[in-house]
Amino acid sequence: MSDRVRPMDRKIVRSRLSFRDLVAEAVAGMLARPGRTVLTILGTVLGVAALVATLGLAKTAGNQIVTRFDALAATSVSVSNRTEGFFRSPGVEDTSAIPWDAEDRLTRLNGVVAAGTLTLVNTEGELVSSVPINDPLGQSAYAMDVLAASPGLFDAVIAELATGRFFDEGHDERREPVAVLGPGAAARLNINRVDQQPAIFIGDTTLVVVGILEDVAREPSLLEAIIVPNGTARGLFDTGAPAEVHILTEIGAAYLIGEQAPIALNPNDPEKLRVQVPPEPQAVRSGVESDVNTLFLVLGGVSLLVGAIGIANVTLVSVLERVGEIGLRRAVGAARRHIAAQFLVESAAMGFVGGIIGASAGVLVIVAVSANREWTPVLDAQVPLLAPIAGAVVGLMAGLYPSWRASALEPVEALRGGT
Amino acid sequence: MNAVVELDGVSRTFPGSPPVEAVRDADLVIDEGDYVAIVGPSGSGKSTLLHILGCLDAPTSGTYRLQGLDVGDLSDGLRTSLRGTEIGFVFQAFHLLPYRTVLENVMTGLVYNRTPRRFRRRRAAEALERVGLGHRMDFTPRQLSGGERQRVAIARAIAPQPSLLLCDEPTGNLDSKTTQSILDLFDDLRTDGLTLVVITHEAAVSQRAERRVDITDGVLAEVAS
């Protein structure tokens, strides 16, 4: 058969449909019924818009979390001997809840970087001064907080020195009369260097200043206070027990340490201690977000599917309506593949246009929500570019069956059927 | 004189119980420039004959040569290609695209047969001038009368300059006055050298043709004029 046909091939001009003509015919077919085309692409528009908005809002909200994520807060654990309230706030205090060796007990826990106790010392209203004389012309004595700390506290609150040194375990054990000043306290006492071993007086008690703080990352109460070793406070002021413990943990260990610290500190009755751990905003928010994300992605997928069914339906109806046109095109030389291509391109173009409109709508939603929440809108650059392609693919898939139906029509039948 | 159409013992049988022999053992030669009317009542097989002549259908037996090519040997795709260049169709139902302009409708006849884009508009416009509708190019078919619509369809059929113009009941939807003007147009086209086959059951149409072939129950018989 093919051997006999071949000599004739040369004489017959094979039908062809250039890509430009194909697109022109498809676009003309779409524009023939603009109202119907708009309604047809609506489903794709909604689906693509939902998908783009979901992806963009997830990215935008994710960026918010990164902005708010604070490594400092996420590595901080505090334990208080008060069952209500917190440091220096009204509440029930159990003075036997935290032992003096809290620092040793906690630094043994895996995940603890540093730990230290902090206790407000009861000085019975004694004022603090840097000169031993009473000057009637000016104020030289002040009421200041005196805090007792274990040496590890400075690391636990991430303190920096302006000058001098922190006190250490030796000072603590020997109950030496030394003090570290917060920068506010140092300024009020007119002390700015420690190389001359300046002395301060708490009532009649003399303390040697060994260091002045520059800043602390936590516990700003240290900035205005006089900090003495635990042993010194116990020896000079009969301080009873530590009031609270501050712990610096490895990143991610805060929750675990929050559970373990009360047991390490007070194994008999850990319930007596109040633990403050960071709320771990990332975990909470990302949990909510992934739920919302999944929901909206599913919704977007469903509406995209509905959009595809809509395109398939309308294209099928359009094929049945245009049987006459199909017959006519077959009569003037259109091959089956040309008919199939025309309907495929029509449905793909509807999906493509739906994708463009949907992506634009999705971006508008992202911008509107971001403006409302005062967020910075963030969107992957590929998303609005890929969305029309996704729409076109959806349209193409939807057009497969109708275009096959169109191309399978026999021209004789088609010419008889339509107008 | 070149033979455009040569039918030699052509039959077309549709399977079924019993099988229907729509065209039986037909012999027909149509030369270039001929004007042939094929006349028969409905159900006589004239539509099947038109489909075979128009390469829309293939004979089950016998040979059909169009411009010397044995159409029976051709694949479906090659017959389709042949339609695009060699045959112009005019249908009773016009088959115009309602949402496209008259000019675009005529250009549809040139889309698939490799007519370069730049020539299409000119050739479509020339065809419309030829049928007397040069002033209606930007109208849509809905704005035209029945006779004008059929002229558009004729313009579409002649725009690719086919070797055979096949008209299936071209005046079936028209009144007698419009029918006359369409038949006048056929006479004009014939003087241009076009080969014309008109299938009809109307005596007024067949009388204008130079040759007349009757078809009854699938059997052809040429009527001497």
Q: Is residue A8 part of a domain?
A: no
Q: Exposed (0-12), middle (13-18) or buried (19+): which is B42, by Cβ within 10 Å?
A: exposed
In this prediction, residues A280-292 reach a mean pLDDT of 59
Note whether A29 and A117 are same-domain residues. no
Q: Which of A4, A6, A8, A15 to mutate to test the interface with B (most CBs of B within 10 A)?
A: A15
The domain limits of chain B are: 3-223
pLDDT over 80 at B31, yes or no: yes
Q: For residues B38 and A286, which has the higher predicted lDDT (pLDDT)?
A: B38
Note whether A246 and A155 are same-domain residues. yes
Note whether A194 and A89 are same-domain residues. yes
Q: Among the three residues A246, A279, A312, which one is the final residue of a domain in this structure?
A: A279
N-terminal to C-terminal alpha carbon distance within chain B: 20
> How high is the mean pLDDT of chain B?
92
Per-residue model confidence (pLDDT) at position A2: 40
User: Residues 165-224, chain B: which have Cβ within 8 Å of A?
Assistant: none
Note whether A275 and A197 are same-domain residues. yes
pLDDT over 90 at B152, yes or no: yes
Per-residue model confidence (pLDDT) at position A136: 67
Q: Is residue A4 part of a domain?
A: no
Q: Which residue segment(s) compose the domain that A247 sits in?
A: 72-279
Rounded distance between C-alpha atoms, residue A202 and residue A182, angstroms: 15
Chain A CB contacts of B109 under 8 Å are 332
Q: Is residue A310 part of a domain?
A: yes
In this prediction, residues A356-369 reach a mean pLDDT of 94
In this prediction, residues A112-118 reach a mean pLDDT of 92
Note whether A48 and A116 are same-domain residues. no
User: Residues 79-118, chain B: which have Cβ within 8 Å of A?
Assistant: 80-85, 87, 89, 91, 93-95, 97-100, 104, 108-109, 111-114, 117
Assign A138 a pLDDT band (cuts: 50, 70, 90). Answer: low
Per-residue model confidence (pLDDT) at position B84: 92
Note whether A235 and A213 are same-domain residues. yes
Per-residue model confidence (pLDDT) at position A355: 94
Assign A280 a pLDDT band (cuts: 50, 70, 90). Answer: low
- Say whether the peptide bond before residue B18 is cis (omega within 30 degrees of 0): yes
In this prediction, residues A343-353 reach a mean pLDDT of 93
CB neighbours (10 Å) of residue A269?
A: 11
Token pair in block for residue A143: 């009421």
Rounded distance between C-alpha atoms, residue A157 and residue A219, angstroms: 7
State the greatest distance between any 2 C-alpha atoms of chain B, in Å, as a whole number. 53
Chain A CB contacts of B89 under 8 Å are 328, 331-332
Q: For residues B47 and A84, which has the higher predicted lDDT (pLDDT)?
A: B47
Q: Among the three residues A231, A248, A279, which one is the final residue of a domain in this structure?
A: A279
Rounded distance between C-alpha atoms, residue A24 and residue A46, angstroms: 27
Query: Residue type for B184, please?
Result: D
Per-residue model confidence (pLDDT) at position A129: 85
Identify the top-confidence range among A284-288, A376-380, B42-46, B134-138. Answer: B134-138
Least Cα separation, residue B209 to chain A (angstroms) = 24
pLDDT over 50 at A1, yes or no: no
Three-state secondary-structure class, residue A84: coil
Residue B2 near residue B163, CB atoms below 8 Å: no
List, in order, residues 6 or more apart from A131 with CB less than 8 Å away.
A140, A201
Q: Find the angle CA(A368)-CA(A373)-CA(A374) to the nearest 5 degrees.
A: 95
* Cβ distance of A31 and B156 shorter than 8 Å: no
Chain A residue with CA closest to B58: the answer is A412
Note whether A100 and A224 are same-domain residues. yes
Query: Residue type for A403, please?
Result: S
Rounded distance between C-alpha atoms, residue A44 and residue A49, angstroms: 8
Summarize pLDDT for A244-255 with one digit per residue, the tens: 899 998 877 888
Q: Does the predicted model carry a pTM greater than 0.95?
A: no
Range with the poorest average pLDDT among A200-209, A249-258, B45-54: A249-258
Burial A353-388 (b: 16+ CB within 10 A, else e): bbbbbbbbbbbebbeebbeeeebebbbeeebbebbb
Assign A8 a pLDDT band (cuts: 50, 70, 90). Answer: very low
Per-residue model confidence (pLDDT) at position A94: 65
In this prediction, residues A293-310 reach a mean pLDDT of 82
Instruction: Give the ipTM of the model, two decimals please.
Output: 0.95
Summarize pLDDT for A144-193 with one digit per residue, the tens: 889 999 999 999 999 999 999 999 999 999 999 999 999 999 998 888 88
Q: Among the three residues A239, A254, A279, which one is the final residue of a domain in this structure?
A: A279
Per-residue model confidence (pLDDT) at position A358: 94
* Cβ distance of A332 and B57 shorter than 8 Å: no
Assign A315 a pLDDT band (cuts: 50, 70, 90). Answer: confident
Q: Is residue A9 part of a domain?
A: no
Chain A CB contacts of B113 under 8 Å are 13, 15, 332-333
Rounded distance between C-alpha atoms, residue A74 and residue A248, angstroms: 9
pLDDT over 90 at B6, yes or no: yes
Note whether A122 and A268 are same-domain residues. yes
Note whether A220 and A233 are same-domain residues. yes
Note whether A393 and A288 are same-domain residues. yes
B35 touches chain A (CB under 8 A): no
Chain B residue with CA closest to A28: the answer is B100
Q: Is residue A7 part of a domain?
A: no
pLDDT over 60 at A284, yes or no: no
Q: For residues B143 and A70, which has the higher predicted lDDT (pLDDT)?
A: B143
Instruction: Select the residue of B85, B93, B113 nearest A419 (Cβ to Cβ).
Output: B93
pLDDT over 80 at B146, yes or no: yes
Structurally, how many domains does chain A consist of? 2
Rounded distance between C-alpha atoms, residue A4 and residue B74, angstroms: 9
Note whether A27 and A117 are same-domain residues. no
Domain formed by B3-223, architecture: 3-Layer(aba) Sandwich (3.40)
Summarize pLDDT for B57-93 with one digit per residue, the tens: 999 999 999 998 899 888 889 999 999 999 999 999 9
